[in-house]
């Protein structure tokens, strides 16, 4: 159809195929759909769990893959419905294939969907695991504050689940330890020069040390040099 040609409503050839594109182009549409599905799947896997929060990797992939395929034929007169049908068919087949593959192959399931990661243990941040995940201190501490956490010494274990959710396990009140406070207004002002002796928590990993008055001191665990006075308040819900 030329741009100057009038649009004929319910032109079945235009609706399902195209006057200008051969029917064999549908195979290219199928190939394009498969390629884009795999590209979206890979991108979501690389961006990490937090980008997939509350939706499974496959559910989010379907939403992204079918969004344009469903929308364009609704109002673009030059997009045949058959192209959208092929896209839907390929994406659904990919979804069924990868679901079945993850059911039968544990290694594929672990790579695609991930596994729970322990981010905090006994009030200290597991830096090796934390740095591998696509999550920031701001996001982690924000999630913890929503659980009424005031400082890391209240925490026995914190997991980043495969779904991107945060699971929190607390010490009993009598087991609460001194820990790094996580209120934003406190975190914003870490100390590098220690002017008063006392118990301090490393701003980076949460490790607690007794420090004397000193110009600068490294954390025994992570070798960073910023500190905050510890907090030992019990959790109030």
Q: Stretch 195-224: mean pLDDT, rounded?
A: 93
DSSP code of 19? S
Confidence class of residue 45 from pLDDT cuts 50, 70 and 90?
Answer: low
74/70 Cα distance (integer angstroms): 7
Confidence class of residue 87 from pLDDT cuts 50, 70 and 90?
Answer: confident
Q: Which is more confident, 47 or 102? A: 102
pLDDT value of position 78: 66
Q: What pTM did the predictor assign? A: 0.63
Residue 66, pLDDT above cutoff 90: no
- Residues 218 and 230 sit within 8 Å (Cβ to Cβ): no
- Residue 6 phi/psi, 5-degree rounding, is -70, 150
List the domains of the chain with CATH numbers. 12-113 (no CATH), 117-229 (3.30.240.20)
């Amino acid at each position: 159809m030329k741009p100057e040609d009038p649009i004929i409503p319910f032109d079945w050839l235009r609706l399902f195929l195209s006057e200008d594109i051969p029917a064999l182009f549908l195979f290219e549409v199928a190939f394009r759909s498969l390629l884009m599905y795999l590209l979206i799947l890979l991108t979501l896997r690389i961006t990490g769990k937090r980008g997939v929060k509350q939706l499974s990797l496959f559910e989010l992939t379907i939403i992204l893959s079918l969004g344009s395929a469903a929308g364009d034929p609704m109002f673009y007169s030059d997009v045949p419905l058959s192209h959208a049908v092929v896209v839907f068919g390929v994406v659904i087949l990919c979804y069924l294939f990868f679901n079945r593959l993850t059911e039968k192959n544990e290694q594929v399931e672990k790579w695609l969907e991930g596994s729970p990661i322990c981010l905090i243990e006994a009030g200290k941040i597991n830096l090796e695991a934390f740095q591998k995940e696509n999550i920031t201190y701001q996001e982690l501490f924000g999630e913890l504050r929503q659980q009424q956490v005031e400082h890391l010494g209240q925490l026995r274990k914190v997991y980043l689940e495969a779904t991107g959710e945060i699971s929190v396990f607390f010490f009993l009140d009598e087991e609460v330890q001194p820990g790094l406070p996580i209120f934003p207004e406190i975190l914003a002002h870490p100390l590098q020069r220690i002017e008063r002796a006392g118990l301090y928590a490393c701003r980076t990993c949460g490790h607690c040390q007794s420090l004397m008055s000193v110009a600068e001191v490294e954390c025994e665990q992570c070798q960073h040099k910023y500190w905050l006075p510890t907090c030992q308040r019990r959790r109030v819900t």
